[in-house]
Amino acid sequence: MSRNAKIRILARKVYKFDVFYKTFVSTSNHEISKVLAALAYYKKLADREKGVNYNYIDRLANASSKDMALYHIREALRDFDTLKNNDEDMKKALSSLESKIGKIDYSKFETEIDFLEKAKNLSDLREILSRIGVEAINLGNRMLEGGS
């Protein structure tokens, strides 16, 4: 394969990622953010605690690699799944989330995870994870305030 052909292939890959990245960044209310918001705010919504538990958001935002980001997402999903089926406070939080923000669409969730895997470097990954974290906090505040 000639050098020019290799450059064209690489340019197409970079272009596809840039288009995908701009699409991800320009959209809001990502499904990962919805899960993190529910986990962070569910006890506060039930008036059982004064504070909010940012552990899941912080762990994801501070992930130092793709595999660590995916690990933290897996842990959050596992805990979320357990809580949504067994905890009354989480059921109330999900009801609030769905009425104000929308239902969690798990097919989009898979697309978002695929997107994380396509991050070109640590800087891009950190930017994406920071956006997800900020969005989760914003969604949680919207759940508390009743805004849409």
Reported as a single tens digit per residue, the pLDDT across 68-125 is: 999 999 999 998 888 888 888 788 777 877 787 778 888 888 888 888 888 888 888 8
The three-class DSSP label of residue 52 is coil
DSSP output for 91-148? HHHHHHHHHHT----HHHHHHHHHHHHT--SHHHHHHHHHHHHHHHHHHHHHHHHT--
- Which two three-digit tokens encode residue 31? 């499904």
> What is the pLDDT at residue 133?
92
Q: In angstroms, rounded to a whole number, what is the distance separating the alpha carbons of residues 42 and 55?
A: 13
**Nearest one of 145, 128, 147, 148 to 33, comparing CA atoms:** 128
CB 60 within 8 A of CB 36: yes
Question: What percentage of residues in the chain have a pLDDT greater than 70?
Answer: 76
CB 143 within 8 A of CB 36: no
